[in-house]
Amino acid sequence: MGLTDLDTQEELGLLGPRFRKEKVAEGFRNKVFLYEVNQLSNDDGGLFKEGVLRFAGVDPHADMPSIYKVVPGAADSKYRTNGPKEGTEESIERNRIDICDAENDRAREGLMLIARDASEWITGYLMEAGRGQLETVKGFRERVEEWKVDPCIKRKATATVLFSESNPKSL
């Protein structure tokens, strides 16, 4: 999109071996609204909705219906805008994996390399050189920075704290 200079090997390295500088559109002048997907399900008191409406040029304080047909990440994920779909819950369960299982370590390591590079590029290059064309919602940078931390390490740390607090003699 031409929002960064792409003039250092460090930046190009973060974008990965398949990125080709010559395919970048020159003169892209549209504004871009960035959000981290978890902001959809955890709206921090309406900040995401307000940010989207403001970006779209709509009064964020106007009486508006919910911007969600279904709350992303909701427990009842079988419901979509066109209603329930038979068998969806069962097929989701059948195909669900736990990325923290040992059998998924190699895949998770690869995904973490991509996540760390993406986080570094978004916060260190895109947000810094966005040429005034980027808008985000409060907390966006912090959420993207979290991509650098392996969620399984966070999960283990949380479980250890909870376990030790509930039974201090267990450790």
Segments forming the whole domain that contains residue 138: 9-71+103-170
Helix segments in 6-150, DSSP class H: 9-15, 38-41, 47-55, 88-95, 105-121, 140-145
What does the angle CA 159 – CA 108 – CA 91 come to, to the nearest 5 degrees?
Answer: 85
The answer to whether the CB of 117 falls within 8 A of the CB of 147 is no
**pTM: predicted TM-score of the whole model, two decimal places:** 0.69
Supply the pLDDT for residue 7.
84
For the ranges 2-6, 9-13, 77-81, the maximum mean pLDDT occurs at: 9-13
- Please report whether residue 139 resides in a domain: yes
- pLDDT classification of 84: cutoffs 50, 70, 90: very low
Supply the pLDDT for residue 81.
46
pLDDT for 48-72, tens place per residue? Answer: 888 888 888 888 887 766 655 555 5
The answer to whether the CB of 116 falls within 8 A of the CB of 147 is yes
Q: How many domains does the chain have?
A: 1
The least confident of 25-34, 107-116, 157-166 is 157-166
Q: What count of other Cβ atoms lies within 10 Å of the Cβ of residue 4?
A: 19
- Please report whether residue 24 resides in a domain: yes
The answer to whether the CB of 79 falls within 8 A of the CB of 92 is no
